[in-house]
Amino acid sequence: MKVLAYSCRPDEKDFFNQFAQKHGIEITLSEQDPEPETVELARGFDCISIITTAIDARLLQQFYQAGVRFISTRTAGYDHIDIKAAHKLGFKVSHVQYSASSVADYAIMLMLMLTRKIKTIFEQTNIQDYSLDALRGRELPHMTVGVAGTGKIGHTVIRHLSGFGCRLLAYDLYENEETKKYAPYVPLETLLAESDVLTLHMPSTAKNSHFINKDTIAAMKNGALLVNTARGSLVHTGDLIEAIRQKKLGGAALDVLEREEGIFYNDLTGQVVDVPELALLQSFPNVIVTPHIAFYTDQAVADMVEGSIMSCATFMQGKEIPWLVAPSN
């Protein structure tokens, strides 16, 4: 049983070799991304493992012609794959689940960094300015945190935040009984109006694209803070920038962005990055931008690699595939 792993990072190699042996897989590792120029690498492989490279209908057709029938993305989200086109061609597609604490704890860290104005503190101390002007922060126990999306990660955020003593509000189309032990579910209008901090933990779908936009921002509490460790498409970047400029929002911490493809995960030192919105966001003292790294812990990377290997192995064995993406998605 053979699998080709595209976009393999150095830190993944030992995990790939370890779990390939564990699950009886012959693994071939490639640092190259799955692109039209690299499709031929997949010839002779039924399964490929990918990360976040966009896989559109045209590229899917090329992989199908090369003999690939199964695509496993080593990510929880799969909006970078044209799922409809994949199922139409006859592909099966899977994603993975990984340590929820990785993203949940990172989101909480970003909340603390925003409320304590850590970006400005770092910038001032780096130039030996140790004054206290404009550095007074806020305390979470005296704030309301709204969590939009209560799947594994959102639920973990709420459970971990329960120890901080803050008021918690939950919002989701599908309520989680375990989450109700820590936070009440409220309508979206209440979540927006009463949250001092709003953190996003929803998957990216066509229906929730630009979930945060000028209208939802207008409904938010004046001075509220926004945290996004989910997907960049959930936030209309232009509307967010305007809200920061107008001081409608008190700040934002963004681990994901629209148009992040080709930027995050690359060393672009000395190059022109043609995303003006990114430069604007980074210029604001109350905005923190990190490179889609919330997931990046030793446990999460191990989970992602093993999950991808397991999905490929079960596909080739004709067994039920874990974390299969249903055609309806």
- pLDDT tens, residue by residue, 168-201: 999 999 999 999 999 999 999 999 999 999 999 9
Residues 277 and 311 in one domain: no
- Render pLDDT for 130-162 as a digit per residue (tens, 0 to 9): 999 999 999 999 999 999 999 999 999 999 999
User: Of how many residues is the chain composed?
Assistant: 329
Quick one: pLDDT at residue 306? 98
- Render pLDDT for 3-48 as a digit per residue (tens, 0 to 9): 999 999 999 999 999 999 999 999 999 999 999 999 999 999 999 9
Residues 74 and 185 in one domain: no
Residues 138 and 280 in one domain: yes
Residues 278, 289 contacting (CB under 8 angstroms): yes
Residues 285 and 197 in one domain: yes
Quick one: pLDDT at residue 328? 59
Q: Domain holding 234: CATH number?
A: 3.40.50.720
Domain that holds residue 212: 100-289
Q: How confident is the model at residue 1 (pLDDT cuts 50, 70, 90)?
A: confident
Residues 157 and 69 in one domain: no
Under DSSP, the state recorded for 312 is H
Q: With 80 as the cut, is the pLDDT of residue 329 above it? A: no
Number of domains, the chain: 2
Residues 215 and 141 in one domain: yes
Residues 112 and 250 in one domain: yes
DSSP assignment string, 14-81:
HHHHHHHHHTT-EEEE-SS---GGGGGGGTT-SEEEE-S--B-HHHHHHHHHTT--EEEESSS--TTB
Residues 146 and 47 in one domain: no
Residues 145 and 276 in one domain: yes
**Domain-embedded: residue 321:** no
**Domain-embedded: residue 218:** yes
Residues 146, 171 contacting (CB under 8 angstroms): yes
Q: What are the residue numbers of the active site?
A: 231, 260, 292
Residues 108 and 83 in one domain: no
Quick one: pLDDT at residue 43? 97
- Render pLDDT for 274-323 as a digit per residue (tens, 0 to 9): 999 999 999 999 999 999 999 999 999 999 999 999 999 999 999 999 89
Residues 140 and 187 in one domain: yes
Residues 41 and 172 in one domain: no
Average confidence (pLDDT) over 230-256:
97
Token pair, residue 197, equals 């901090």
